[in-house]
A and B are shown apart, each in its own frame.
Chain A
């Protein structure tokens, strides 16, 4: 079977969709466990007398912890695939259906272990500020954290599996990505974490964590540590926060990663298509070089469009909102 170009583009769109889901859940998972950047405020809260029922599991920076989960899932899935694929010759997808969820389950369990030790360790360190370890908070958050992390890791492992088999799935194995499944999981784990950390945390940190402060201004230094401890009804825990961020912060973060994956793959594919590189794949020729050149030019056009978009957007916001009028 020769390379089917339409199939190649279709897989690219599947990958972009999976990326959207992955990063949405990554952001919500970090909000759920307060692993986002504003976890410093949860840490600070007890020190300024704000005893709270927040879950604080800042294991490490989000990119590194997500790289750990995705690489763990990728490695377990990869090892299982090595053993299972020979059992189903010609129908290797059956091996993937079993191997990927099992690998991701292992990663979710690693996440839960780290979450427990991290939360207990951090909260125990705040004993001198009389911050207790609420056991219901500990137990109640573990399952939501694990399920959100499962979704993220599952989508990333699927992306890595598709990319490492993209050529095979589309008809020509030479188009498979040169990196192995665990390394692709590692790469996208780092990237999904850095996007979740840089984009999604804003909604949680500025808006939700200080919701009893004025809307429409950056959080002043005097407010730091004075987090909002009460929900619409009762005492606030992280489960209220994930529900709130799922309405805006999570999807926008997901769209960020989805767009990045879409743009990156799309410009490469379009370059290959326009230069005549597909479907014959004449590697190390002037046609192949032209594919790379077109991909680079497409990328530069995308960047230029985003820069102009930002210029127009910032100008529009300044006009709409006007100068700061508070005190």
Chain B
């Protein structure tokens, strides 16, 4: 394998890992409290929803990779697939919150929605941290899905076309590196986060530094696997 190709694989894996970590921080994760209307966001864990979105994107990216060799098109297909998944989930969750539980989608971290300028505090149930998916949270979730899906698809493309893995192995490899980075983000978030407007978002640099180290190691392992196991072109 040529040294340039090796560096390209490592660089793409590192970029994919960093995007995964950034995307996970942008997703509005409410966990169990959100499932009881005690917190704003999507009612599940960071890794769980990030993984679901990226897998959906990866499915489409893998289809596109069978008939197009463009890195940009494969990566964007994955990114858009993940965004579609997360947007439908957030929209339908809002329908459940409103018609099933009778609560108004409200942010618990800001008094005024930074995008629509709608007041939040008067609509909030006391002793809760907001509920549902208000507009600023929806936009942040869309961005998170797009960035996370882009990262997953970039890694898949690198493993498939540069490291010479088969489609199935490339998917599992990309997924594994993605999960490691999403778990780092989950540790950094520690519970719930609403998105880019949340004070917890300022912790992002710590997660990115850790992701950089982990992704670099993963990239080197991919190169070793491709070279030693004879998977390289």
CA distance A87 to B207 in the complex (A): 54
A164 to chain B, nearest CB (A): 11
B36 touches A38 (CB 8 A): yes
The verdict on A264 contacting B84 (CB below 8 Å), with A198-B44, A221-B38, A303-B142 known, is yes
A38 touches B101 (CB 8 A): no
Q: Select B73's contact among A209, A289, A323, beta carbons within 8 Å.
A: A289
Q: Is the interface of A mostly helix, strand, loop or mixed?
A: helix
A190 touches B168 (CB 8 A): no
Is B37 part of the binding interface, using a Cβ–Cβ cutoff of 8 Å?
yes
A267 to chain B, nearest CB (A): 8
A209 to chain B, nearest CB (A): 7
Q: Select A202's contact among B35, B48, B142, beta carbons within 8 Å.
A: B35
Is B96 part of the binding interface, using a Cβ–Cβ cutoff of 8 Å?
yes
Is B102 part of the binding interface, using a Cβ–Cβ cutoff of 8 Å?
yes
Q: Select A268's contact among B52, B53, B60, beta carbons within 8 Å.
A: B60
A292 to chain B, nearest CB (A): 4
B46 to chain A, nearest CB (A): 11
Q: Select B92's contact among A193, A255, A317, A324, beta carbons within 8 Å.
A: A255
Please name all residues of chain B whose beta carbon is closer than 8 Å to the beta carbon of A303 when the two chains form the complex.
80, 83-84, 87, 142
The verdict on A207 contacting B92 (CB below 8 Å), with A220-B126, A264-B59, A284-B69 known, is no
A191 touches B116 (CB 8 A): no
B51 touches A63 (CB 8 A): yes
The verdict on A199 contacting B89 (CB below 8 Å), with A206-B35, A206-B101, A222-B127 known, is yes
Identify which of residues 97-147 in chain B touch chain A, using a CB-to-CB cut-off of 8 Å: 97-105, 116, 118, 122-128, 130-131, 133-135, 138-139, 142
CA distance A218 to B34 in the complex (A): 9
B91 to chain A, nearest CB (A): 5
Q: Is the interface of B mostly helix, strand, loop or mixed?
A: helix
The verdict on A281 contacting B67 (CB below 8 Å), with A37-B32, A205-B43, A326-B125 known, is yes
A221 touches B101 (CB 8 A): no
Is B213 part of the binding interface, using a Cβ–Cβ cutoff of 8 Å?
no
Is A118 part of the binding interface, using a Cβ–Cβ cutoff of 8 Å?
no
The verdict on A193 contacting B73 (CB below 8 Å), with A206-B35, A289-B68 known, is no
Is B221 part of the binding interface, using a Cβ–Cβ cutoff of 8 Å?
no
The verdict on A288 contacting B99 (CB below 8 Å), with A190-B52, A194-B44, A296-B73 known, is no
Identify which of residues 299-327 in chain A touch chain B, using a CB-to-CB cut-off of 8 Å: 299-300, 302-303, 306-307, 309-311, 313-315, 317-318, 321, 323-324, 326-327
B48 touches A197 (CB 8 A): yes
Is B81 part of the binding interface, using a Cβ–Cβ cutoff of 8 Å?
yes
Is A26 part of the binding interface, using a Cβ–Cβ cutoff of 8 Å?
no
Is A177 part of the binding interface, using a Cβ–Cβ cutoff of 8 Å?
yes
The chain A residue sitting closest to B131, CB to CB, is A218
B68 touches A302 (CB 8 A): no
Binding site for A on B (CB under 8 A): 31-32, 34-38, 42-45, 47-49, 51-53, 55-56, 58-60, 62-70, 73-74, 76-77, 80-81, 83-85, 87-105, 116, 118, 122-128, 130-131, 133-135, 138-139, 142, 167-168, 171-172
Binding site for B on A (CB under 8 A): 36-38, 40-41, 61-64, 177-180, 183-184, 187, 190-191, 193-195, 197-207, 209-210, 215-222, 224, 248-249, 252-253, 255-256, 259-260, 263-264, 267-268, 277, 281, 283-284, 288-289, 291-293, 295-296, 299-300, 302-303, 306-307, 309-311, 313-315, 317-318, 321, 323-324, 326-327
With A197-B43, A313-B95 already in contact, 19 other A-B pairs whose C-beta atoms are closer than 8 Å? A37-B35, A61-B45, A62-B44, A63-B48, A180-B168, A183-B168, A187-B55, A190-B51, A206-B103, A207-B100, A215-B102, A221-B127, A252-B95, A255-B92, A264-B81, A292-B73, A307-B139, A310-B90, A310-B94
What are the 4 tightest A-B residue pairs by CB atom distance, in nearest-first order? A194-B52, A218-B37, A216-B102, A299-B80
